[in-house]
């Protein structure tokens, strides 16, 4: 499987990151749960995923057209407040999470991003901003979910052929912030979470995500008496925190 290559200058891409987060363009209300969407189908190549996301967005627009105007206006508002979201019936709120967005909607978010860049001294264009939205939504989802997880699990499976790495159901992923449970025959030894190295960054958004995931991991440990181990890897599946390999081996010895 091929990865998406970021063709924008790194300085420009990085410059838009905090603005993207501060505007809440990155939230599932704005883009859908992309990690859930990409796991609904099996895609042989990255272009298939991109087309699926856009087609899902077209389907969402068709559904919105059949809703009352008030609900539709809030669902179409990428940064609707919590109070506005609560004015939409619960079943209809799910529409924003369960579907992708059209290419035009991503272009609209690119325009919003461009219009909110202060002191544009790095020469970012509106076209660049659309590319940032596109890459973070379509490409990073593919690289991060499909390639990183797949390649990491492939490497672990080669190193530990006597273990089974089982992808958890969506509800457990959301509730406990885990990606896989590791089994020896029918006994679950521990859970793992696969993340990029950027997960260790100090940005407010990432810190908040880490704190939320830590609480979820603790709930998992309390309920099942199993640890959650974090593996940091790149999209090729190369494990960056080498010390975790020793910890995995020690846990296997003590639990088997």
Is 151 within 8 Å of 237 (Cβ atoms)? yes
Q: What per-residue confidence (pLDDT) applies to 256?
A: 64
The domain locations on the chain are 10-142, 160-255
Task: Count CB atoms within 10 A of the CB of residue 46.
Answer: 18
Residue 28 or residue 206, greater confidence:
28
- Per-residue confidence at 205, pLDDT binned at 50, 70, 90? low
In tens, the pLDDT along 52-110 reads 999 999 999 999 999 999 999 999 999 999 999 999 998 899 999 999 999 999 999 99
Residue 9 has pLDDT above 70, yes or no: yes
Mean pLDDT of the chain: 90
User: What local confidence, expressed as pLDDT, does residue 99 receive?
Assistant: 95
């Amino acid at each position: 499987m091929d990865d998406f290559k970021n063709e924008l200058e790194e300085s420009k891409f990085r410059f838009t990151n905090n603005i993207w987060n501060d505007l809440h363009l990155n939230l599932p209300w704005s883009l859908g749960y992309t990690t859930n969407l990409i796991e609904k189908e099996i895609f042989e190549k990255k272009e298939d995923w991109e087309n699926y996301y856009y087609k899902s967005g077209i389907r969402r627009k068709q559904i919105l057209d059949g809703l009352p105007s008030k609900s539709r206006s809030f669902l179409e508002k990428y940064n609707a407040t919590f109070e506005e979201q609560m004015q939409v019936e619960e079943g209809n709120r799910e529409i924003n999470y369960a579907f992708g967005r059209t290419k035009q909607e991503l272009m609209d978010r690119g325009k919003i991003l461009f219009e909110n860049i202060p002191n544009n001294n790095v020469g970012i264009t509106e076209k660049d901003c659309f590319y940032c939205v596109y890459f973070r939504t379509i490409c990073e989802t593919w690289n991060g979910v499909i390639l990183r997880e797949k390649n990491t699990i492939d490497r672990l499976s080669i190193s530990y052929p006597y273990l089974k790495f089982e992808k958890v159901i969506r509800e457990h992923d959301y509730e406990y912030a885990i990606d896989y449970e590791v089994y020896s025959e029918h006994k679950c030894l521990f859970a793992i979470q696969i993340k990029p190295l950027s997960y260790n960054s100090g940005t407010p958004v990432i810190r908040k995500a880490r704190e939320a995931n830590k609480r979820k991991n603790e709930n998992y440990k309390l309920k099942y008496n199993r640890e959650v181990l974090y593996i940091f890897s790149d999209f090729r599946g190369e494990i960056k925190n080498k010390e975790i390999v020793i910890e995995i081996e020690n846990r296997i010895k003590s639990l088997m």
